């Protein structure tokens, strides 16, 4: 387990050794603020909250997290460094966890860097800090699950484009399962209990409560167990 | 030091490695010869624990690679074919990462190991340069430095002199020779003169099987006066 540390450090710092990390952070922050201001009606809403920001996170994550996660394993496979990595005295689990946690920390940094928005809200009004903190917490947890799916997609192929497409599609499915439009469509085909069951596997269903300031253990467990399951499959895919 | 017992690797119906067995003792430099696709690299990847054998196993210093791969990996320095490395890192950063992952946790220990590897492979002029900007010869030496870093009792080198100019080839050979006394070395090569120059034993592998396991002198004695490549061709003709 101690060998996770060097792997984590290399992967995390790797984002900043090339323009990739800076470009990602800039795009993430600019896009989230544009969406909140121009689509979400940040000022028009007239409330001291960041709901208009967080509501777009599931959609923003849909494209940006596969972009951040696609390189995790595909790049190692393409450049052959995977051979180097797996002839170091580390287990597959160490390697998977080290890389995953590094990417998660990077994404968390992206989420946390939106704090000037929170400061703005605090300057303009009197926000509910509990709701804000719960939203940040939920966003980071959700980012972890998106990343788990994308890391798995990345472990399946050495082509980053294929990895991006698989990751996006899988996340899209997990997001759509909770949307009422999609569910109406499904209920025409499947019995209600099945549709309800499927809706329980959706990112949006579980994320919503956080943006209202509710930290429900079952939502936390959902995100953590989804990430855990993906990482388990990730280890299996690499040991194959 | 290394004991390879009936290694088999199949890809679908193709047997890439078909029951390879041999032993390498301390002080031996084993030259691994064979046409492309004969199974040299696959055998090496199984000894280093990167690939899981379909059948058979390899013991390194008494540790079974299928039972305890991490213990085996700790004892081996491995230079994969075409020396992959994380291109965005500088030579120093990369070797520092390898040292940390190899268990040199304190900064002082790490610096000592990195400096030793850098001076052995004459990388000092480029130590602060990123690896992707280096010439092929330097990249190969970075791979070599990485393999030597933890002063392992066993070296597995896949085409260590590939892409080097004649002077660099000479230098790498004398470096291998100088270290051979206290190590067991396996190196694969296409260059027959290299075998004559440094190897104490030769294994020729053809279609996944060992066809020759003897000293270079015995190989030469098969057809006195003939050039080695003529002997090599007659032994591996079934591959063509």
Tell me: do B63 and B167 sit in the same domain: yes
Range of the domain at B91: 80-151
Stretch B16-41: mean pLDDT, rounded?
90
Residue B240 pLDDT > 50, yes or no?
A: no
Domain count along chain B: 2
Q: Does B89 touch chain A (CB under 8 A)?
A: yes
Q: Which residues of B fall within a CB distance of 8 Å from A9?
A: 97, 100
Residues A180, A182, A187, A192: is their CA dihedral positive or negative?
negative
Q: What is the pLDDT of residues A36-52, one digit of tens each?
A: 888 887 777 777 788 88
Residue B239 pLDDT > 70, yes or no?
A: no
Quickly state the pLDDT bin for A195 (edges 50, 70, 90): confident
pLDDT at residue A140 in the model: 96
- What pTM does this model have? 0.91
**CATH code where residue B36 lies:** 3.40.50.300
Task: State the Cα–Cα distance between residues A156 and A74, nearest whole angstrom.
Answer: 8
ipTM of the complex: 0.89
Tell me: do B145 and B158 sit in the same domain: no
Q: Which of B49, B86, B131, B150 to mutate to probe the A interface, most A CBs <10 Å?
A: B86
Q: Which of A4, A10, A72, A73 to mutate to probe the B interface, most B CBs <10 Å?
A: A10
Rg (CA), chain B: 18
Closest-CA distance, B228 to chain A, in angstroms, reads 32
Residue A182 pLDDT > 90, yes or no?
A: no
Tell me: do B71 and B161 sit in the same domain: yes
Stretch A77-96: mean pLDDT, rounded?
94
DSSP state of B121: T
Residue B3 pLDDT > 50, yes or no?
A: yes
Tell me: do B108 and B161 sit in the same domain: no
Tell me: do B189 and B226 sit in the same domain: yes
Closest-CA distance, A220 to chain B, in angstroms, reads 32
- For chain B, the average pLDDT equals 89
pLDDT at residue A224 in the model: 96
Q: What is the pLDDT of residues A123-170, one digit of tens each?
A: 988 888 999 999 999 999 999 999 999 999 999 999 999 999 999 999
Answer with the one of B151, B168, B189 that is the final residue of a domain. B151
Answer with the one of B109, B131, B151 that is the final residue of a domain. B151
Task: State the Cα–Cα distance between residues A175 and A145, nearest whole angstrom.
Answer: 11
pLDDT at residue B219 in the model: 83
pLDDT at residue A171 in the model: 93
Task: State the Cα–Cα distance between residues A100 and A149, nearest whole angstrom.
Answer: 11
Stretch B160-173: mean pLDDT, rounded?
86
B183 CB contacts (<8 Å, ≥6 apart)?
B26, B27, B152, B153, B154, B155
Tell me: do B14 and B40 sit in the same domain: yes
Q: Are residues A84 and B97, on separate chains, in Cβ contact within 8 Å? A: no
pLDDT at residue B88 in the model: 92
Tell me: do B90 and B204 sit in the same domain: no
Q: Are residues B101 and A79, on separate chains, in Cβ contact within 8 Å? A: no
Answer with the one of B151, B172, B191 that is the final residue of a domain. B151
Question: Chain A to chain B, count of Cβ pairs less than 8 Å apart?
Answer: 61
Q: What angle do CA A13, B76, B172 make, to 5 degrees?
A: 90
Q: Are residues B86 and A81, on separate chains, in Cβ contact within 8 Å? A: yes
Q: Does B31 touch chain A (CB under 8 A)?
A: no
Q: Are residues A14 and B52, on separate chains, in Cβ contact within 8 Å? A: no
Q: Are residues B74 and A89, on separate chains, in Cβ contact within 8 Å? A: yes
Tell me: do B90 and B64 sit in the same domain: no
Q: Are residues A83 and B80, on separate chains, in Cβ contact within 8 Å? A: yes
Tell me: do B2 and B42 sit in the same domain: yes
* CB-nearest partner of B80 from A3, A80, A239: A80
Q: Which residues of A fall within a CB distance of 8 Å from B49?
A: 86-87
Q: Does B77 touch chain A (CB under 8 A)?
A: no
Tell me: do B41 and B94 sit in the same domain: no
Q: Are residues A89 and B103, on separate chains, in Cβ contact within 8 Å? A: yes
Q: Which residues of B fall within a CB distance of 8 Å from A80?
A: 80-82, 84
* Residue in chain A nearest B48 by alpha carbon: A87
Query: Which 38-67 residues of chain B touch chain A by CB within 8 A?
Result: 45, 48-50, 52
Tell me: do B158 and B231 sit in the same domain: yes
- For chain A, the average pLDDT equals 90
Q: What is the pLDDT of residues B59-117, one digit of tens each?
A: 999 999 999 999 999 999 999 998 999 999 999 999 999 999 999 989 999 999 999 99
Tell me: do B97 and B84 sit in the same domain: yes
Q: Yes or no: say if B179 and B147 are a contact pair by the CB < 8 Å rule.
A: no
Q: Does B84 touch chain A (CB under 8 A)?
A: yes
Q: What is the pLDDT of residues B170-205, one digit of tens each?
A: 888 888 988 888 899 999 988 888 888 889 999 999
pLDDT at residue B238 in the model: 62
The order of strands in the sheet holding B14-24 is B14-24, B2-11, B55-60, B63-64
């Amino acid at each position: 387990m101690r060998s996770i540390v060097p792997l984590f450090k290399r992967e995390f710092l790797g984002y900043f050794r090339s323009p990739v990390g800076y470009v990602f952070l800039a795009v993430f922050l600019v896009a989230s603020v544009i969406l909140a201001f121009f689509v979400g009606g940040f000022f028009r809403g007239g409330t001291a909250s960041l709901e208009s920001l967080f509501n777009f996170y599931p959609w923003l994550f849909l494209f940006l997290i596969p972009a951040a996660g696609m390189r995790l394993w595909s790049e190692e496979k393409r450049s052959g460094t995977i051979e180097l990595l797996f002839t170091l005295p580390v287990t597959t689990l160490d390697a998977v966890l080290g890389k995953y946690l590094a990417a998660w920390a990077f994404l968390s940094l992206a989420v946390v860097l939106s704090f000037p928005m929170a400061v703005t809200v605090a300057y303009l009004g009197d926000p509910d800090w509990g709701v804000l903190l719960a939203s940040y917490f939920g966003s980071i947890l959700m980012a972890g699950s998106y990343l788990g799916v994308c890391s798995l997609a990345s472990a399946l192929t050495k082509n980053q484009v294929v990895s991006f497409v698989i990751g996006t599609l899988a996340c899209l499915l997990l997001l759509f399962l909770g949307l009422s439009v999609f569910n109406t469509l499904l209920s025409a085909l499947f019995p209600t209990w099945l549709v309800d069951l499927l809706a329980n596997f959706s990112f949006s269903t579980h994320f919503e409560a956080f943006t209202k300031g509710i930290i429900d253990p079952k939502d936390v467990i959902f995100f953590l167990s989804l990430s855990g399951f993906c990482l388990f499959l990730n280890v299996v895919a690499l040991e194959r | 030091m290394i004991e390879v017992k009936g290694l088999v690797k199949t890809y679908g119906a193709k047997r890439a490695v078909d029951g390879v067995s041999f032993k390498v003792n301390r002080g031996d430099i084993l030259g691994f010869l064979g046409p492309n696709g004969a199974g040299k690299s696959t055998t090496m990847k199984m000894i280093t624990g990167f690939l899981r054998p379909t059948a058979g196993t390899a013991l390194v210093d008494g540790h079974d690679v299928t039972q305890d791969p991490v213990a085996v990996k700790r004892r081996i320095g491995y230079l994969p074919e075409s020396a992959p490395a994380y291109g965005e890192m500088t030579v120093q950063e990369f070797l520092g990462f390898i040292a940390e992952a190899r268990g040199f946790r304190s900064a002082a220990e790490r610096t000592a190991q990195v400096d030793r590897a850098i001076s052995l492979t004459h990388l000092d002029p480029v130590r602060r340069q990123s690896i992707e900007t280096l010439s092929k010869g330097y990249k190969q030496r970075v791979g070599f430095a990485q393999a030597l870093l933890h002063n392992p009792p066993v070296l597995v080198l896949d085409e260590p002199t590939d892409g080097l100019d004649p002077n660099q080839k000479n230098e790498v050979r004398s470096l291998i020779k100088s270290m051979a006394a206290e190590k067991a070395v396996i190196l694969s090569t296409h260059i027959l003169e290299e075998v004559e120059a440094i190897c104490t034993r030769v294994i020729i592998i053809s279609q996944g099987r060992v066809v020759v396991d003897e000293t270079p002198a015995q190989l030469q004695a098969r057809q006195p006066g003939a050039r080695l490549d003529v002997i090599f061709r007659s032994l591996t003709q079934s591959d063509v």
